[in-house]
Amino acid sequence: MQKPLTCVEICAGAGGQALGLAMAGFVHVALVEYEMDYCNTLNQNRPEWNVICTDVREFDGKPYKGVDLLAGGVPCPPFSIAGKQLGKDDERDLFPEALRLIKEIEPRAIMLENVRGFLDRGFTEYRQYILKSIEKLGYDTQIKLLNASDFGVPQLRPRVVIVGIRKEENKYFMYPEGNLQMAPTVGNALYDLMAENKWKGAKKWAQNANKIAPTLVGGSKKHGGPDLGPVRARNAWAELGVDGRGVANMAPEPDFKGMPRLTSRMLARIQGFPDTWTFGKKKTAACRMIGNAFPPPVAKAVGEKIKECLENECADCERTISLSRKIV
């Protein structure tokens, strides 16, 4: 019987990536997160996890040298189109810390995710630097844009995922293949939650909410509240019959008229979290945690492919030149 694969995760957030990797078979030996609300959410949902509530800049990776996987979702605001896109000049850019920890821990594999903006032309030089730095540390490195809707998540949520496998593993990683037909519509995903207070209009609403959701927006600690984002995002939600100006405390009452607002539980389901995953009682904090999360089904799919490589199931795959050498 093979030993379970171990994982250290940085910038763990509310646990979207961690949950997905756990479902893929990884055992977390440490999860590093800075914000207390996020740490409390991790501890509440998985008391057995070793949650280290500290700034990743102060985290010493050396005691974890040799784990199977180093994973993380380094802060996205430096590259997000919703922000100023300062990239490496943004104080929140933690890619340098990820590189430091790769060097200290020397994991067999790495998995780092970020927003689509990381692929923008303006970040080409910095992106090349990051990928080449990882390769110099001994990894065959690939980068790909994955859409959450291709993995059963009822939301248009593109995320960049970097995967590196140590060269001495002598294996080639292949990203999971998604299937857009797997994603339910917003109406199908949320009908039971909309109808839980016996709202008479729930069935008709679900029929009209016949598309996947726009990308959920979490916002930063300084900006963003319990709503569904700026005007453009709210307009997209309105097309699905959802009032995006706020977040509801409960599902609509039986005689409710008009466009309903989503509850935090509905938002979490759209992000791919199971209904059993809780986010505390603070509505604004819950919306931020959910909106900034990496959908667990996507993390699970990527994690399973990494696990295949590390457990020799892809050892006979043909090696090819890594994408980090191709991107210019």
- CA–CA gap between residue 323 and residue 328 (Å, rounded): 10
pTM of the model: 0.89
**Token code pair at residue 189:** 């995903």
Which residues belong to the active site? Answer: 76
- CA–CA gap between residue 238 and residue 218 (Å, rounded): 18
Report residue 328's pLDDT band, with 50, 70 and 90 as the boundaries: very low
Identity of the residue numbered 246: G
CA distances from 114 to 20, 24, 26, 79, 183 (A): 16, 20, 21, 8, 21
What ranges do the domains of the chain cover? 5-180+294-326, 181-291
pLDDT tens by residue, 148-173: 999 999 998 999 999 999 998 878 89
> Tell me, what's the pLDDT at 122?
83
Residues 6+ apart with CB under 8 A from 32: 8, 9, 10, 11, 12, 52, 54, 56, 59
CB 71 within 8 A of CB 268: no
> Tell me, what's the pLDDT at 94?
86
Report residue 179's pLDDT band, with 50, 70 and 90 as the boundaries: confident
Q: Would you tell me which CATH number, out of the four given (1.10.230.10, 3.40.50.970, 3.30.300.10, 3.40.50.150), belongs to the domain 5-180+294-326?
A: 3.40.50.150
- Decide which of 100 and 93 is more confident: 100
- CA–CA gap between residue 152 and residue 176 (Å, rounded): 13
- CA–CA gap between residue 230 and residue 317 (Å, rounded): 45
- CA–CA gap between residue 13 and residue 34 (Å, rounded): 8
- Once rounded to an integer, what is the mean pLDDT over residues 66-71? 97
pLDDT tens by residue, 255-312: 999 999 999 999 999 999 999 999 998 888 999 999 999 999 999 999 999 999 999 7
Q: Which long-range contacts (CB under 8 A, 24 or more apart) does 319-323 make?
A: 319/140, 319/170, 319/171, 319/172, 320/172, 322/135, 322/140, 322/141, 322/142, 323/131, 323/141, 323/142, 323/143, 323/144
Which one, of 163, 167, 169, lies nearest residue 323 by Cα? 163
C-beta atoms surrounding 29 within 10 Å? 15
Q: How many CA atoms lie within 13 A of 209 on its CB side?
A: 31
- CA–CA gap between residue 103 and residue 72 (Å, rounded): 15
